[in-house]
Amino acid sequence: MNGRVILSARNLGVRYKRRGGLLRPTRYHQAFSGLTFDLYQGETLALMGRNGAGKSTLLKVLAGILRPDEGRLINHGVTVSLLSLQAGFDPELPGTDNAVLSAMLLGYTKSQARACLNRIAEFSELGTFMDEPVKTYSSGMRARLGFSVAMFLSPDVLLIDEALTVGDRSFREKAEREMSKKIHSLQTVVLVSHSESQVDKLADRVIDLDQSEHGHVH
């Protein structure tokens, strides 16, 4: 990759407390440690590793949601967002309200969120259901609305956790098309995946968290 470095991880480490009591000593689960790498502009980086290797945790650290226990993350002036589906959805509220709220939570201004509303409604193919409470939706419809909102999110670095399984088959194909398009636009993407074939198809570079425990990244 020849782009400039936009995020630098230096010796990152995160551990989770396994709950002890007042009397039992607390034990820790080390998600990962000593992780050092650079993220370049425009690349697609895949994170792999077994369950519990800390893939999602690393994404949260990159997104600025979690503060690492060790090391530091240097952001060279870019916006980083986790692609979150259905963030902050309230089942009692209609689709329109949820779309606006979710978009605002994802970082948009209120006016941006409102301006997107028509396109979100169109992309989600929900039609008049947009004005019905989300609790009346099927889970597939809910997922469609969530995906449609997230689709318009365009930070400098997009973080994607796990394969997106969204709605029925035809919508899933549409979602995959859009997602692939997004990944292949100039956007920088970090994605978590278990599927080697998906990684081959999408990623420029892979970090295997199982093997990077000693700071080795390839």
Partner 1 sequence: MAESLSPTTSSPPEHDRRLAPRDAFEWAFDAMAARQWQRAARRWATLRVVYPDHPPVWIQAAVALRELGSHGEARQLLAEARARFEDHPGGWVQGANTALADGDVALATRLLEEARQRFPDDPPVWVRSAHLAMATGDRESALRFNRHARDTFPEWAPAFDQHAELAMAAGDWDAARQRWAEVRRRFPDHPAGYRRAAEVEERQGRPREARRLRLAEEHGVDWLEQSDAPESAVVAPPRRRDGRNFVDLVWTKARLNLKSEANRNHLRYLWWVIDPLLYMAVFYVVFGLLLHRGGEGFVAYLLTGLVPFQWFAKTVQHASNTIVEGRGLMNQVRISPLFFPLVAVVQNAGKQTLVFLMLAVFLLLYGLPPTVHWLALVPVVLVQLLLMVVVGCALAMMIPFVRDLINLVPTGLQFLLFASGVFYTLDTIPERWRDLFMANPIANLLHQYRLILLEHQWPDWHQMGWLTLGCVIGLVVVILAYRRLEGVFPRVVVE
**How many CA atoms lie less than 13 Å away from 72 in the CB half-sphere?**
3
Q: How far is the CB of 86 from partner 1 (least distance, A)?
A: 9
Closest by CA position to 69, among listed 18, 6, 11:
11
CB atoms within 10 A of CB 171: 19
84 binds partner 1 (CB under 8 A): yes
**Rule CB under 8 A: which of 189-218 touch partner 1?**
201-202, 204
63 binds partner 1 (CB under 8 A): yes
4 binds partner 1 (CB under 8 A): no
Contact yes or no for 7/74 (Cβ under 8 A): yes
Please say which residue, 24 or 214, places its beta carbon nearer to partner 1.
Answer: 24
- Look up residue 113 and give its DSSP letter: H
**Rule CB under 8 A: which of 5-44 touch partner 1?**
14, 16-17, 19, 42, 44
* Tokens, residue 100: 């606006």
Q: How far apart are CA 6 and CA 160, in angstroms?
A: 17
Q: Give residues in contact with partner 1 (CB under 8 A).
A: 14, 16-17, 19, 42, 44, 60, 63-67, 79, 81-82, 84, 87-88, 90, 92-93, 97, 100-101, 104-110, 112, 115-116, 119, 133, 151-155, 176-177, 180-181, 184-185, 201-202, 204
